[in-house]
Amino acid sequence: MIFSKGTGYALRALIFLAEHMDEGPFLAGAIADDIDVPKPTLSKILNRLAAKKLVKSVSGPNGGFWLVKDPGLISLKEIYEAFEPSRSYQECLLGHPQCPGTKYCTLHLKWLEPQKHIFDFLNNTKISDIIPFEDGLQPEDIPLEDQ
């Protein structure tokens, strides 16, 4: 799993807001109830998203949260970087602060290619791409490469 719970909750909140763009603003409690996330946790997440200028919030009786940007312009990379700890990608996969010596270890070299694919996926996948289909999608409907 490449996402922490916080990142997953942020994605769920953004999907909710994208699905209901013309109906907002929404109170944090209403979003939390709909996406099944504890309200205090979601409030912190929404505030972080507001600090990153992905959502806007207004206090008061007609207040709440709504998307600032078009969901087609919000990449998963933006969310990932907002919620995941900053890690040095020079860090050794075996737990050393850096790969021993002046070159990468062989495990790190093997990791570089999948890491590039993950970064491309995060950068190229937008919130609009992950809004669920109305009729749902079953795992067997997803073509997977031969393993």
- Domain containing 109 — which CATH number? 1.10.10.10
Which residue is it, tokens 């990932």?
A: 80
Across 96-121, average pLDDT: 76
**42 vs 100, more confident:** 42
| Residue 18 · residue 71 · CB < 8 Å | yes
Q: Is the pLDDT of residue 9 over 90?
A: yes
CB 131 within 8 A of CB 19: yes
How far apart CA 143 and CA 102 sit, in angstroms, is 41
- The answer to whether residue 147 sits within a structural domain is no
Residue 55 within any structural domain of the chain:
yes
Which of 37, 14, 113, 122 shows the shortest CA–CA distance to 77?
A: 122
Structure tokens at 3: 């996402």
Q: What value does the mean pLDDT of the chain take?
A: 83
* Predicted pLDDT of residue 33: 95
What pTM, to 2 d.p., does this model score?
Answer: 0.79
Q: Quote the number of domains for the chain.
A: 1
Domain-located, residue 143: no
- Tell me what pLDDT residue 23 has: 87
Is 139 within the bounds of a domain? no
71 assigned to some structural domain? yes
91 or 109, which is more confident? 109
pLDDT band at 143 (very low <50, low <70, confident <90, very high): low
